[in-house]
Amino acid sequence: MAELAMSWYVLRAVSGKEAKVKEYIDAEIKNGRLGGHVAQVLIPTEKVVQIRNGKRVIKERNYLPGYVLVEARLVGEIAHVLRNTPQVLGFLGGMDNPTPLRPSEVSRILGKVDEMSEEAVDLPIPFEVGDAVKVNEGPFAGFSGVVERVDNDKKKVTVTVKVFARSTDLDLGFTQIVKE
């Protein structure tokens, strides 16, 4: 009998419990209970940049909440074991005869995961020319000024502040200023 090739399947999981499902299945892979019929488990995530308390924070979030991808060969009891993993609701595409993802779908999903890991999704520009801002960090903390130029590529703004009654231009990061 020819050996069945590995295919990607989608498990539906309780939303918010995807990491737990991955943990359970990874433990089953490690202890050998799945007999080498499950290669890997993946939770599709994307990196998102957020500004929190003036700091730039990169956070991962699921972009397909409630779904876990499993590369497996569904022979014997393997489908049953995966289906009965805690927090799993079943396979996408039917309980009795799960449908594997097409290679194009897999590469699209994995491509998005790779693309996201290389470059984080950025927030819209939080400042515009003419905005009144206050510097909140660095040697000019506490000074107020006006945004003169915004460079979204470098995540910098040029702010004009008055120092000893003279206008001074400062190049600052988005996180170093707040709107007044």
The DSSP element (H or E) to which 104 belongs, if any, is helix 103-118
Q: Which amino acid is at 68?
A: V
pLDDT tens digits along 78-103: 888 999 999 999 998 776 778 888 88
Give which of 77, 67, 2, 1 is closest to 38, Cα–Cα.
Answer: 77
Segment 16-31 shows an average pLDDT of: 92
pLDDT tens digits along 42-61: 988 877 777 777 777 888 88
> How far, in Å, CA of 102 to CA of 72, rounded?
14
Backbone torsion region of residue 93, taken as left when φ is above 0, otherwise alpha when ψ lies between -120 and 50, otherwise beta: left
Strand partners for 51: 56
pLDDT tens digits along 97-112: 788 888 888 888 777 6
pLDDT tens digits along 134-167: 988 877 888 899 999 988 777 788 999 988 888 8
DSSP tag of 22: H
Predicted local distance difference test score (pLDDT) of residue 95:
67
Predicted local distance difference test score (pLDDT) of residue 2:
45
Task: Give me the torsion for CA of 59, 158, 138, 55, rounded to 10°.
Answer: -10
Domains (range + CATH), the chain: 7-118 (3.30.70.940), 132-179 (2.30.30.30)
Give percent of the chain with pLDDT exceeding 70: 89
Reported residue count of the chain is: 180
The reply to whether the predicted model has a pTM over 0.75 is no
Predicted local distance difference test score (pLDDT) of residue 12:
93
DSSP tag of 174: G
Question: Is the confidence at residue 13, as pLDDT, over 60?
Answer: yes
